[in-house]
């Protein structure tokens, strides 16, 4: 379907074009719940329609094939994780467990934290790898602030997990940090 974001929003929520243009310029729109959308001047019905459309888009963005191709780089996985977790108001630490061909066995939210922290031990991440018979591991976590830049703590945790994985003979493939509509791969940045 063609049209600007404002046109699509007007169609979904039956908004006047000028109202849709105003709403679409608010950078928080994809991360607001129904009450938050109502605070932008939308009716309950309009807010519900928009919130439902965003949730549906996140779910479609998160769909994975059972016979998926091996993960060769961060692009496809990063986009899926952004669709799933960039809107979360608290940090989530996610483990993506891979078989020997780098195909996803399972994805698990290992820990949910606060708005600016998700404390999880390296032991928890590696224990699950053994439980599901994974040979490789990718971790990801979201930054509710929207900025996916790695913090000093992110880099330190990555180093600790890298050392632990080496000891336990589990390949540590990447650490992705999810922000607002974008992500950072520490492997691509040369930080691991």
> What pLDDT, on a 0 to 100 scale, did the predictor assign at position 67?
47
Q: What is the pLDDT of residue 66?
A: 44
What pLDDT score was predicted for residue 65?
46
Phi-psi map region of 14: left, alpha, beta (phi>0 left; psi -120 to 50 alpha): left
Give the pLDDT band (50/70/90) at residue 192: confident
Tell me if 145 sits within 8 A of 114, measured CB to CB.
no
Q: Is the CATH code 3.40.140.10 the one for domain 74-185?
A: yes
pLDDT tens per residue, range 30-78: 667 788 888 888 889 988 888 888 777 766 655 454 446 678 778 888 9
Give the sign of the dihedral formed by CA 36, CA 64, CA 126, CA 181: negative
Task: State residue 74's pLDDT score.
Answer: 85
pLDDT, position 188: 92
- CA triple 45-47-52, angle to 5 deg: 95
Per-domain boundaries in the chain = 5-61, 74-185
Query: How many C-beta atoms surround the C-beta of residue 151 within 10 A?
Result: 13
Instruction: Summarize pLDDT for 7-29 with one digit per residue, the tens.
Output: 887 888 888 888 888 877 776 67
pLDDT in tens, 111-122: 887 656 556 789
Name the CATH topology of 5-61. Answer: DNA polymerase; domain 1 (1.10.150)
């Amino acid at each position: 379907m063609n049209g600007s974001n404002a046109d699509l929003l007007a169609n979904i929520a039956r908004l006047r074009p000028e109202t849709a243009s105003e709403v679409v310029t608010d950078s928080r729109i994809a991360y607001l719940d129904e009450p938050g959308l109502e605070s932008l001047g939308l009716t309950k019905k309009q807010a519900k329609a928009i919130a439902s459309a965003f949730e549906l888009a996140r779910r479609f963005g998160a769909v994975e094939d059972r016979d998926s191709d091996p993960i060769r780089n961060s692009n496809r996985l990063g986009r899926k994780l952004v669709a799933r977790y960039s809107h979360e108001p608290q940090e989530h630490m996610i483990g993506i467990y891979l078989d020997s061909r780098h195909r996803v066995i399972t994805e698990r939210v290992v820990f949910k934290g606060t708005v600016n922290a998700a404390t999880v031990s390296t032991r928890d991440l590696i224990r699950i790898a053994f439980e599901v018979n994974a040979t490789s591991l990718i971790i990801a976590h979201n930054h509710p602030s929207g900025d996916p830049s790695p913090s000093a703590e992110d880099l330190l945790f990555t180093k600790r997990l890298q050392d632990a994985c080496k000891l336990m003979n589990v390949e540590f493939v990447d650490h992705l940090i999810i922000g607002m509509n974008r992500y950072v791969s520490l492997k691509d940045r040369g930080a691991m």
